[in-house]
């Protein structure tokens, strides 16, 4: 039962539904290429929506190539770092944060030189004339760090995934190192420890102990995506169940605000981090999605720059305005080529690592850290289904240009809507896979539909090519949806035409001559039918069956059918003498027309069928054609047809008859001519006839005959008048039964 229902669904719709399911499954499973597409789209959106830096609270001191070449090779002697720090603190910097780890003692310090010579040369040397405080450059740097709010970076060694039992991870012991203060606050009464949600580390490269107690310490690890691009960054990192480390950006901001960090979490992970009045939305791992800023300038060696930047050598040589640094968060980092602090971000492949930390602080201060709504996957899955179903239905049922416009419109809406959500609400809604779904579904379904339409056009061409006019055939090919080959109800007008006395003609003429006669007759008749938009259903010997209103809808089907019937009779009057001269027979054609609801479609066997119509309206049209013989008329139409054409054509009510197989009388009419081309004599005859017909129904025989005589005095060859007069004379001698109400019972079909 289900299989039968599925078979009724159009193939293009089945493919569309299947593609939609595949797109949803791919999005949920997120294979490599899907993630790559999403990332590429995300990067494009970030670049398109990037704004200038907002906080105006950050300055970068750049260890650029000019600084390295002008001062000394790297690493610099620590007294230069001390001098740099002193100048920044004296200028009023709020925080000085180093995106650098000082993991070794300064080998240029006199005290270190002494140790090196003793170790490798076995000589004990002494320096004279050097003040004691200048013997140890690391000590100079440590004293400078203590003079203000400073942060030193360190590098954590992450493990791939935290084990379920956090106690299996030994907490890093960073003796004499201040890694900042962080308070964990559980939400909703959860008792789970926040450490289970954090990235975990079991090792670190830190600065030397001499510097350890003089400044705060924070990790500067970046966590790039699988393609090496940094799109997000952790703000906190765990080491075992109780140990937490703050990122360089978060530590610098905490010192700047003067408040500790509060980590808020629940059973699903970290929810936000709060520093004073500043609330930072995070992902469950305690990370943030970075809202990168617009690149303002290009640094040396192709590096991209966002924030105000001063070369370190300019600070050392006092080529700067101290007021410019007052109250600012200072990040010290390197863009020099040899230092290799190069990061790939959505903004550039050459992005200084220190700019990443600065961007995070700027995001937090500006309150526009990006967020991914927790319901994003469900929403995107629903959107893919909605888009897939909408496109499938439109492509399956609609026009090609409309589905193309919808596809373009959908892509524009997705792009504009995503940019709006990004800029207005800081929601990361990347429509990459939604757009790809459109790009997949539209061309595939369009090609399938095109292929189906070509097959359908060929089928229509084979079926109707010789049965309808070229304009109608073109319409059917381009509007296959306007009709059904499998059967449908339609309002139509049926036409039957037959040559009077054809049996006698066929018995007298040789087959070749008979065939020639039929072709000479059928060709112009068919041409008229097709010109008037009719469909030639079939030929059966001399019989023509045609319809208007199928196989495609026609509002004026009855009018066009009547035009065709009258034009055929006019054409017959033209060719009748010619045919009689050539074949020896005068051709007279009787026609019947009737309108009504029919069933139209392919009828026949499974292997052989024809497009035709069925129904009572068809049967009545077939009965009306031979009735012409009883009244001496050429065209008889049914009551339904007459009601549709009476304003254009002159008709005559002929009678109320009961055709064979029926019990209810019906009214029949003669189709006379166009009203505008009818003479007054004919109108008078028709009026007299219809009055006489009414009188004869009332059994007023003499009054009816009197009117018929008047009509015959105008045209004594009017067949309906002669027929009715003869019937009345018979009724006068043989009165009808008491239950008779005027109907004429016809006993035969022919």
**720 versus 377: which is more confidently predicted?**
720
Cis upstream peptide for 551 (omega within 30°): yes
Percentage of the chain modeled with pLDDT above 90: 46
State how far the Cα of 38 lies from the Cα of 380, in Å rounded to an integer.
Answer: 12
User: Which residue matches tokens 């000082």?
Assistant: 102
- Per-residue pLDDT for 518 more than 70? yes
pLDDT of residue 388: 85
Chain position carrying tokens 């790009």 = 439
**pLDDT at position 8:** 45
* pLDDT tier for residue 552 given thresholds of 50, 70 and 90: confident
Average pLDDT on 217-238 reads 92
pLDDT at 301: 46
Domain at 465-611, CATH homologous superfamily? Nucleotide cyclase, GGDEF domain (3.30.70.1230)
Instruction: Specify the pairing of strand 649-658 against strand 744-745.
Output: parallel
> Interhelix angle for 432-464 vs 470-478, to 10°?
150
Under DSSP, is residue 47 helix (H, G, I), strand (E, B) or coil? Answer: helix
- Of these ranges, 24-38, 205-219, 291-305, the one predicted with the greatest mean pLDDT is 205-219
User: So what's the pLDDT on residue 475?
Assistant: 57
Do the Cβ atoms of 78 and 137 come closer than 8 Å? yes
Q: What is the pTM of this model?
A: 0.63
- List pLDDT tens digits, range 263-308: 998 888 899 999 999 999 999 899 999 999 998 766 554 455 789 9
Residue with the bigger pLDDT between 53 and 367: it is 367
Rounded CA-CA distance 708/562 in Å is: 27
DSSP 414: H
Mean pLDDT across the chain? 85
Instruction: Quote the pLDDT of residue 461.
Output: 56
- Cα distance between the two ends of the chain: 47
Q: What is the DSSP string of 591-658?
A: EEEEEEEEEEEEEE-SSSEEEEEESHHHHHHHHHHHHHHHHT-SEEEEHHHHHHHTTTEEEEEEEEEE
- pLDDT band, very low/low/confident/very high, at 2 (cuts 50, 70, 90): very low
How far is residue 676's CA from residue 672's CA, in Å, rounded to a whole number?
A: 12
Q: Where are the domains of the chain?
A: 2-50+372-456, 58-366, 465-611, 646-750
């Amino acid at each position: 039962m289900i299989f039968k229902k599925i078979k009724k669904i159009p193939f293009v719709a089945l493919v569309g539904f299947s593609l939609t399911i595949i797109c949803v499954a791919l999005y949920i499973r997120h294979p490599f290429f899907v993630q790559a597409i999403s990332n590429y789209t995300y990067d494009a959106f970030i670049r398109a929506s990037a704004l200038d830096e907002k906080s105006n609270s950050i300055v970068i001191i750049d260890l650029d190539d000019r600084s390295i070449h002008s001062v000394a090779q790297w690493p610099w002697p620590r007294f230069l770092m001390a001098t740099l720090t002193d100048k920044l603190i004296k200028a009023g910097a709020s925080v000085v944060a180093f995106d650098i780890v000082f993991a070794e003692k300064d080998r240029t310090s006199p005290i270190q030189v002494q140790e090196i010579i003793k170790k490798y040369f076995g000589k004990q040397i002494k320096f004279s004339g050097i003040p004691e405080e200048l013997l140890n450059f690391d000590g100079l740097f440590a004293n400078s760090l203590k003079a203000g709010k400073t942060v030193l970076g360190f590098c954590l060694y992450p493990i791939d995934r935290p084990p379920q039992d956090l106690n299996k991870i030994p907490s890093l012991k960073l003796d004499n190192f201040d890694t900042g203060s962080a308070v964990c606050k559980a939400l909703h009464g959860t008792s789970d420890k926040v450490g289970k949600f954090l990235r975990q580390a079991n090792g670190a490269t830190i600065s030397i102990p001499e510097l350890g107690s003089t400044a705060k310490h924070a990790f500067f690890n970046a966590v790039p995506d699988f393609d090496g691009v940094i799109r997000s960054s952790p703000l906190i990192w765990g080491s075992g169940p109780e140990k937490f480390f703050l990122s360089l950006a978060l530590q610098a901001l905490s010192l700047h605000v003067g408040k500790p960090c509060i980590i808020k979490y629940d059973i699903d992970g970290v929810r936000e981090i709060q520093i004073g009045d500043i609330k930072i939305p995070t992902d469950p791992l305690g990370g943030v999605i970075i809202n990168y800023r617009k690149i303002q300038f290009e640094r040396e060696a192709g590096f991209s720059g966002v924030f105000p930047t001063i070369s370190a050598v300019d600070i050392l040589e006092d080529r700067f305005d101290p007021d410019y640094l007052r109250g600012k968060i200072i990040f010290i980092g390197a863009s020099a080529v040899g230092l290799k602090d190069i990061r790939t971000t959505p903004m550039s492949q050459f992005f200084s690592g220190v700019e990443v930390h600065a961007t995070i602080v700027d995001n937090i201060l500006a309150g526009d850290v990006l967020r991914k709504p927790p319901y994003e996957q469900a929403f995107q899955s629903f959107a893919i289904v909605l888009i897939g179903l909408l496109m499938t239905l439109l492509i399956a049922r609609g026009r090609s240009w409309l589905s193309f416009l919808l596809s373009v419109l959908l892509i524009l809406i997705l792009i504009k809507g995503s940019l709006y959500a990004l800029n207005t609400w800081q929601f990361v809604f990347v429509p990459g896979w939604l757009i790809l779904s459109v790009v997949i579904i539209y061309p595939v379904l369009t090609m399938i539909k095109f292929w189906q339409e070509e097959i359908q056009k060929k089928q229509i061409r084979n079926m109707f090519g010789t049965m309808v006019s070229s304009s109608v055939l073109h319409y059917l090919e381009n509007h296959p949806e306007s009709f059904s080959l499998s059967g449908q109800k339609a309002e139509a007008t049926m036409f039957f035409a037959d040559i009077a006395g054809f049996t006698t003609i066929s018995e007298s003429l040789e087959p070749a001559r008979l065939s020639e006669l039929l072709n000479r007759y059928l060709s112009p008749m068919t041409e008229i039918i097709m010109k008037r938009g009719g469909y030639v259903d079939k030929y059966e010997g001399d019989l023509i069956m045609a319809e208007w209103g199928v196989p495609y809808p026609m509002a004026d089907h009855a009018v066009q059918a009547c035009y065709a019937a009258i034009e055929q009779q006019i054409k017959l009057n033209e060719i009748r003498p010619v045919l009689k001269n050539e074949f020896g027979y005068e051709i007279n054609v009787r026609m019947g027309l009737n309108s009504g609801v029919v069933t139209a479609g392919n009828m026949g066997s499974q292997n052989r069928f024809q497009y035709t119509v069925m129904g009572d309206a068809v049967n009545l049209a077939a009965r009306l054609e031979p009735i012409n013989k009883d009244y001496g008329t050429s065209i008889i139409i049914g009551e339904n047809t007459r009601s549709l054409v009476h304003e254009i054509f002159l008709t005559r009510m002929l009678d109320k008859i009961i055709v064979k197989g029926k019990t209810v009388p019906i009214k029949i009419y003669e189709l006379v001519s166009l009203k505008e081309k009818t003479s007054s004599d004919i109108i008078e005859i028709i009026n007299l006839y219809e009055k006489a017909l009414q009188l004869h129904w009332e059994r007023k025989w003499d009054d009816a005959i009197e009117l018929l005589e008047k009509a015959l005095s105008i045209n004594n060859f009017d067949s309906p008048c002669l027929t009715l007069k003869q019937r009345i004379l018979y009724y006068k001698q043989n009165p009808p039964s008491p239950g008779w109400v005027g109907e004429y019972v016809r006993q035969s079909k022919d």
